Amino acid sequence: MFKHILLATDGSEHSLRAGEKAIALARCHEGSKIDIVYVVDGKQSKEDVLHHWGLDAADKRKQKLQMIEQKAKHEGIDYEIIFLHGEPGPTIVEHANKNNFDALVIGSRGLNVFQEMVLGSVSHKVAKRARCPVMIVK
């Protein structure tokens, strides 16, 4: 039933819990695959460069995904890490709708709390617009 799962993550505590749920879903069906998507927001990327001069931003992003990657490997789940560029909500929705996922798993809150208060949460935007079932994990 849920053989092709999209996990949207930003390295936050909620997205780590979402990763655990995505892995649990994938374990239910042999041959399942998880696409782990991290959206690089242009504004955030610029801020990262200014605050962490000299550090490789790509390495920093990969470190945020390391815990989920290790858990997927440990469970023997097939996965792929995909970096997308754009505004997180619409970019995740576009990717989900183009690739016909069986389910999308996302954390209820991300790393940018201020943006959530002002603009609404990414998970809310995704749940409203994605054409596949969406699991929001607290």
CATH code at position 23: 3.40.50.620
pLDDT value, residue 94: 98
Percent of the chain with pLDDT over 70: 80
Q: Structural domain tally of the chain?
A: 1
Of the candidates 25, 43, 32, the residue with the CA atom closest to the CA atom of residue 106: 25
89 is in which domain, residue-wise? 4-137
Could you please report the per-residue DSSP string of 9-36?
A: --SSHHHHHHHHHHHHHHHTSTT-EEEE
Could you list the beta-strand ranges (E) of the chain: 4-8, 33-40, 78-85, 103-107, 134-137
pLDDT value, residue 60: 72
Q: What is the pLDDT of residues 2-47, one digit of tens each?
A: 999 999 998 888 899 999 999 999 999 999 999 999 998 876 555 5
CA 10 to CA 39: how far, in whole Å?
7
pTM of model > 0.75:
yes
Per DSSP, 102 falls in state S
